[in-house]
Amino acid sequence: MAKDNLWSVAKAIVAKQKGVLAADESNPTIQKRFDTINVTSTEENRRRYREILFTTKDIERYIGGVILFDETLRQTTQDGTPFAELLSSRGIVPGIKVDKGAKALALHPEEKITEGLDGLRERLVEYKQLGAKFAKWRAVIEIDDRDIPTTFGIRANAHGLARYAALCQELGIVPIVEPEVLMDGAHDIERCEEVTSRVLEAVFTELDAHRVLFEGMLLKPNMVIAGMKCARQESVQRVAEATLRCLTRYVPAAIPGIVFLSGGQSAADATDHLNAINRTSPHPWQVSFSYGRALQAPVLAAWKGQESNVAAAQKTFLKRCRLNGLARDGKYDRAMEAAE
């Protein structure tokens, strides 16, 4: 019964045409995003911005789940409706970011470990009461030419992800497992594929050892892509092929859905890559998006913190949701970017 529930929530989040809006920026991160449009990061500005996103008409056609930050899960619309309730009433599953960020991994210079396991069981109980049906935990793996990541760094992060996922499932919450191999750096696509392969292999070994039900979780990986500073950037098709090769080798078919992070790609690139992946051969999982920046950067640029720009911001947001909804089924074309 509990297992069936996990599976049906996971399936609902990645239903046809749908993906996830990652709106779970921590306060320091949303501050960075607001800085780009000269908006002060006050609690009310953060609330208003999220309200603009969540009240955009018709997004429920393309958005199956929204990841919230702790503060946002406790906030309401102008008229007092809790955001989780608003989203649920629109058929969108509310979720919550539960990790406490990536910190320096002791005695492993330049590697990070995600914190937040202490007290997590109790926090999950509260989040569930507040309406969260799924959760997210992000591990960060950086690629460096000097043998980084280490095998231990990968294993430590995979272990953390698995402990988090097990705690979620114990309480009937669907875990989104996010091992992010960063796009920062000058590494080529081959190195990204090698590291992403090692990471996914370690993550599923740990998930299995922790008895995590694969049918009741979602995977949020990076695409296999050259580092942003690499001189050789690959074609959309090459990224799609490398990404699928890696996922096919290391991700069990029992996982209901793979929802990519955008990781610093432009909005159009993230959509184009997702589209190409969905066009390349059939695969056993739903393959969709869980984008933060690739859904929101154009919205922030349209909004600029001005009430007079809200309609334009919502129009921009709906367009990005719709295009990613198409890409998620392999029906997007880059020419659609120009059309209104």
Residues binding ligand 13P (CB under 6 A): 22, 138, 178, 261-263, 291-294
Work out how close the CB of 313 gets to ligand 13P at its nearest, in angstroms, rounded to a whole number: 17
Catalytic residue (choose from 51, 111, 220, 241): 220
Q: Which is nearer to ligand 13P, 224 or 249 (CB)?
A: 224
Q: Which is nearer to ligand 13P, 7 or 291 (CB)?
A: 291
Position closest to ligand 13P via CB: 292
Q: Which DSSP string corresponds to 180-192?
A: EE---SS--HHHH
Q: State which amino acid sits at residue 197.
A: S
C-beta of residue 102 within 8 angstroms of C-beta of residue 142: no
Q: Which is nearer to ligand 13P, 264 or 284 (CB)?
A: 264
Q: State which amino acid sits at residue 6.
A: L
Q: Which is nearer to ligand 13P, 127 or 291 (CB)?
A: 291
Work out how close the CB of 292 gets to ligand 13P at its nearest, in angstroms, rounded to a whole number: 3
Work out how close the CB of 91 gets to ligand 13P at its nearest, in angstroms, rounded to a whole number: 21
Judging by DSSP bridges, how do beta strands 63-68 and 93-97 pair with one another?
parallel
Catalytic residue (choose from 51, 142, 178, 193): 178
Angle between helices 43-54 and 27-35 (to 10 degrees): 80
Work out how close the CB of 284 gets to ligand 13P at its nearest, in angstroms, rounded to a whole number: 23
Q: Which residue has the tokens 């997007």?
A: 332
Q: Which residue has the tokens 């002791």?
A: 106
Annotated catalytic residue 178: yes
Q: Which is nearer to ligand 13P, 67 or 313 (CB)?
A: 67
- Spatial CB neighbours of 265, under 8 Å, sequence gap ≥ 6: 183, 223, 225, 273, 294
Annotated catalytic residue 220: yes
Burial of residue 238, with CB atoms counted within 10 A of its CB: 0-12 exposed, 13-18 middle, 19 or more buried: middle
Q: Which is nearer to ligand 13P, 32 or 284 (CB)?
A: 32
Q: State which amino acid sits at residue 313.
A: A
Q: Is the peptide bond before 149 cis (omega within 30 degrees of 0)?
A: yes
Strands (E), 265-318: 286-291
Q: Which residue has the tokens 């199956």?
A: 64
Work out how close the CB of 4 gets to ligand 13P at its nearest, in angstroms, rounded to a whole number: 27
Work out how close the CB of 308 gets to ligand 13P at its nearest, in angstroms, rounded to a whole number: 27
Bridge partners for 68 per DSSP: 23, 96
Q: Which residues are designated catalytic?
A: 178, 220
